[in-house]
Structure 1
Amino acid sequence: MKEPCPWCKATPEYIKYHDEEWGVPSDDDRLHFEFLVLESAQAGLSWLTVLNKRDCYRKAFANFDPRKVAKFDEAMVETLKANPGIVRNRLKIESTISNARHFLTIQKEYGSFARYMWSYFDDKPIQNKWKTMADVPATSKESDAISKDLKKRGFKFFGSTICYANLQALGFVNDHLLSCPRHKACAELGKNFRPHWL
């Protein structure tokens, strides 16, 4: 009998995220920025903690519009530090703002941030075939290369492990277990994925 990936069973919200979002390939820059913000906030915390704060993050960070977030000033940092709905870590808040500025630089250079990211995959998702959670890696050669390049460009809180989680979430890799019904669904989405720049 097919069973969903075991990590998602903690709450109904987690199951919904797993069933509807996790592993779906995307070329949408707004969504890429959203996950960049959320994954960076997650550093040192559980993903469920950040997922539960997602709506608060959406309100606090201008509906994940990088152009607006890039303009946040010191007064906004203080406002965000007082917001109980997000992770109130000054360094993470400041890095979200600076990451937004670097995000815009990559957009300008590549035409879109998603295009930059997908260039590491030749515009096609990797279809993994893991049988157990123990098989699933924490990093990959792609996450190593991307995080190293983004660090050179000034990004913070986006090391290889966080980057790999980002790749899983946005469907660069299909890391649903073979026993999970979503593996086949995401594999089909990956097969038909054609980013808008092609």
Structure 2
Amino acid sequence: MHLGIFMMPLHPPEKDRTQCFEEDIELVTRADELGFTEIWVGQHHTVAWEPIPSNDLFIANVLPRTKNVRLGTGVSILPQHHPVNVAVRLSFLDHLSRGRLNCGFGQGGVATDWGLFELPDPQTQGLMTVEAIDMILKLWKTDAPFDFEGDFWRIKIEHRDAQDGMGELLKPYQKPHPPLAMSIIRGDSK
């Protein structure tokens, strides 16, 4: 049997944040010791009871404290991040974990987070999410030079000098990339 955990995480809003983070770290290390196979870590910026604004930094913190459990972004909220940043940060985590990373993508569901980033309506955020995933996957499999242009982002490296290492983006440790998952609310989500 395989057991996993989805950590939003949930804490009383009035609780000391440092204590919350320490408890979350303890949960992950204990789950690894008990043989859990995967843990997914949520991300929100404006929700007091879900206080992890950067799940990739949390994962980087617990990686050296764990041995076997796979760790996943549950989810990387793509309209809030540039696809290049997501692609290289997740590639970096994949290397640090030696292939224990899972990548969860989504558009987010908290209206106060949308306002914080001045994001458009949810339907447009869905389109941004799909475009970001497409660009992340292209970045993971394509060497420069390239020019990817979408409706929301343009990603371009015109020149690559392999000898000097210029124009190179970090690719994932796992080939062709870490396992992917998506959060959706409705069956007809795009």
- Shared topology, TM-score over 0.5? no
Query: If each structure's strand is expressed as a fraction of its own residues, which one has the higher value?
Result: 2
Q: Please, what TM-score do these two structures have when normalized by structure 2?
A: 0.26
> Which structure has more RCO (C-alpha within 8 Å, separation ≥ 6)?
1
Larger-Rg structure: 2
